[in-house]
Amino acid sequence: MKKRLYILSFLLLWTTLLFASDIKLVASVSKNQVGVGEQFEIDFTLNGVGNRFTPPDFSAFQILAGPNESTSATIINGSSSISTSYGYILSATKEGTFTITAAAIVVNGHTLTSNSIKIKVQGQAPPQQKPQQQAAAPPDDNTSVNTKDLSKSLFIKANVSKTRVYTGEQITVRYKLYTRVDLIANQLDKAPDLNGFWSQDVVSKNPNAAWTTETYNGARYTVATIKQTILFPQHSGDLTIDPLAMTFVVRMQLPARKFLVNPYGNFQDVKYQVKSLPVIIHAAPLPLAGKPADFSGAVGSFSVYTDVDKKELKANETINYTFEVKGSGNLNLINAPKITPPVDFEKYDPKTTDRITVDSNGISGSRLFSYLLIPRHQGNYKLDPAKFTYFDPAAKRYITLPANAFNIKVNKGDMQVNVPVFNSADQQDIKMLGNDIRYIKTSPADLYKGSGEFYNSALYYMLMLLGPLSFVAAFFYRRWKTRYNSDLVLVKSRKAGKIAAKHLAAANKELAAGNKVAFFDAIAKGLYGYLSDKLDIPFADLNKENIADSLKARSVGDPVIQQLNDTLDSCEMARFAPVSAISQQQVFENAKNIINEIEDKL
């Protein structure tokens, strides 16, 4: 019995090894010689079924799509066979000869490896072969997806609270993302241009987008608000809110093969750009009829409150007169009202304090103006009420709100007390007249006659030559400084590190304050601004591909470039996608390390 068991085990082991020896993982490419920017396909085909597929190192290329896994079965004369394929679409990024190393897969407990392939990249790809002019999917109808169908499954819609407003009236624009597909990653391509508007973004306390479900045109979508902005038209006429553009990586299901429905859930990751439609805002001018002379541009709904900190005081003492405007509207654009104190009062420029809230309902809160007044003589005075005029869009008319009047009693002051003088540009600077004005000195001056030994001495001639020598040195220094700063590219490159340090400092403050969205926004601005100045890449051409090419051309290593891409992706995901597992401290450290590495290299 034991002998039969040994024989059976031996036969099973031999059969397994024999079967495994016939299974191979073969790598093949659509072309071995390509141009820079040209895309090509690479497939890893296994004549069987395996698991734990490990792709090779594609660091020398850009992955446009993949892995696209597919399984097919054939039956010929009663004999069946199964093959599994893993496909990628790659794009060459620079010239040279590169080796795509072997891929690996586990079959029956054994690890199989594929052959390696050499790719020669030479010259520039012809225009018709550039990746952006080709479909994102392979040309095989049995394994490709139609990205044209995505227009109904993924789009951005700009919703505005009003399209017909008055100049200066606030409106809200919300950019909502509608999707019925799986989103893997995203990238902001272009923020909307808001020419003709004064704008302020609404910063959400929740760093992750809030997803809901919504029915639109009879179809059910998953929806998230990705951006909210409060707008104020600055002049009348038709104003355009330009589109917001983003690129998404979409995971799409592949169609089934002819012979076998795919049991492994084959999918393909494709890039798809989405733009919102432009929105036209019709801004009407404020009416001239009934417009008061003291109207300064306030538009909204407001109330006023005034107060003084004292109603009885001595001459030359100070009074704080406060004028507060509360409500909703263009609070940030409201100017200080004009007040007319009695002629015996000195008035200084007001200090402005804002308590303003920006949320999805608009801009609301208060703006407080504090005036410093100084009565110079005793007596009974009256502070006349100041007026505040604004335009109410709901009522379509101008409204003037009078403030309270105050009776002020000024008693005789102490003439020996120094009179304070306040600098109107900065109310914190205070000088005393008795100290900064000096009187005529009436006592005899302490004058003495020198010995005369300095004249014609060596020190005398040295000092005489010091002036011309200083002039010559300044002349040559100026010429050197002019040449040193003549190359604007080098100047921007030298200052890039300092500007990036300021952004990182701002990001560190937001990190300490717990403002996640503002933190990631500061990191992204710091990195993009630094790279634009350091690498001399215009903002219009600033994307990950151009950045990677420029860094590689300057011999910056792939680990630094990969860390940079990961950090930028983390910033974009944290701002627009529902991701909560991103470490802010790690992103901050990565940003510092990236800048330090590039500075050391360049």
CB-CB contact of 166 with 284 (8 Å): yes
Three-state secondary structure of 252-308: EECCCCCCCCCCCCCEEEEEEEEECCCEEEEEECCCCCCCCCCCCCCEEEEEEEEEE
Domain ranges of the chain: 23-134, 148-284, 300-434, 488-601
Whole-number pLDDT of residue 290: 85
- CA neighbor of 542 nearest in space, from 519, 560, 524, 562: 524
Answer yes or no: pTM beyond 0.75. Answer: no
CATH number attached to the domain at 148-284? 2.60.40
Cis peptide before 67 (omega within 30 of 0): yes
**Which among 196, 363, 360 has a CA at the least distance from the CA of 279?**
196
Place of tokens 């200052």: 495
Percent of the chain with pLDDT over 90: 18
Is residue 87 exposed (0-12), middle (13-18) or buried (19+ Cβ within 10 Å)?
buried
Confidence at residue 238, expressed as pLDDT on a 0 to 100 scale: 92
CA nearest to 138, candidates 29, 10, 235, 222: 29
List of the chain residues with pLDDT < 70: 1-22, 66, 70-81, 124-149, 206-208, 254-266, 415-452, 484-496, 539-540, 575-582
- CATH architecture of the domain 300-434 equals Sandwich (2.60)
**Amino acid identity at 28:** S
- CB neighbour burial string for 318-350, b if at least 16 within 10 angstroms, e if fewer: bbebbbbbbbbbbbebbebbebebbeebbebeb
Q: What phi-psi label fits residue 531: left (phi over 0), alpha (psi between -120 and 50 degrees) or beta?
A: alpha
DSSP string, 419-450: PEEE-TT-TT-EEEHHHHSPPPP-SPP-----
pLDDT 10s digits, 117-151: 888 888 766 544 333 333 333 334 344 455 666 88
CA diameter of the chain: 135
Report which residue type is found at 513. Answer: A
Q: Is the dihedral of CA 17, 21, 22, 28 positive or negative?
A: positive
CB 363 within 8 A of CB 357: yes
Distance, C-alpha 369 to centroid of its chain: 33
Q: What is the enclosing helix (H) or strand (E) of 381?
A: strand 379-383
Say how many Å lie between the first and final Cα of the chain, rounded: 76
Q: Give the residues across from 306 on adjacent strands.
A: 323
* CA distances from residue 221 to 173, 212, 218, 267 in whole angstroms, order as listed: 20, 8, 10, 21
CA torsion sign, 526 to 531 to 533 to 534?
A: positive
Distances (CA, A) of 590 to 59, 317, 543, 580: 20, 56, 19, 18
The per-residue DSSP string of 65-113 comes to EEEEEEEEEEEETTEEEEEEEEEEEEEE-SSEEEEE---EEEETTEEEE
**Which CATH number among 1.25.40.10, 2.60.40.740, 1.10.3720.10, 3.40.640.10 corresponds to the domain 23-134?**
2.60.40.740
The Cα 8–Cα 11 span in angstroms is 5
> Whole-angstrom Cα distance, residue 10 to residue 2?
12
Q: Do the first three CATH levels of 23-134 and 148-284 match, i.e. the same topology? A: yes
Q: What is the pLDDT of residue 550?
A: 83
Phi, psi of 257 (to 5 degrees): -70, 165
- The Cα 395–Cα 441 span in angstroms is 69
Q: Would you state the pLDDT for residue 601?
A: 72
Regarding the domain delimited by 488-601, which CATH topology (the fold level of the hierarchy) does it fall under?
Four Helix Bundle (Hemerythrin (Met), subunit A) (1.20.120)
* Alpha helices, DSSP H, located in 514-581: 516-535, 544-553, 558-576
Strand extents, DSSP E, 93-210: 96-100, 104-107, 110-113, 117-124, 154-160, 164-166, 171-179, 182-190, 197-201
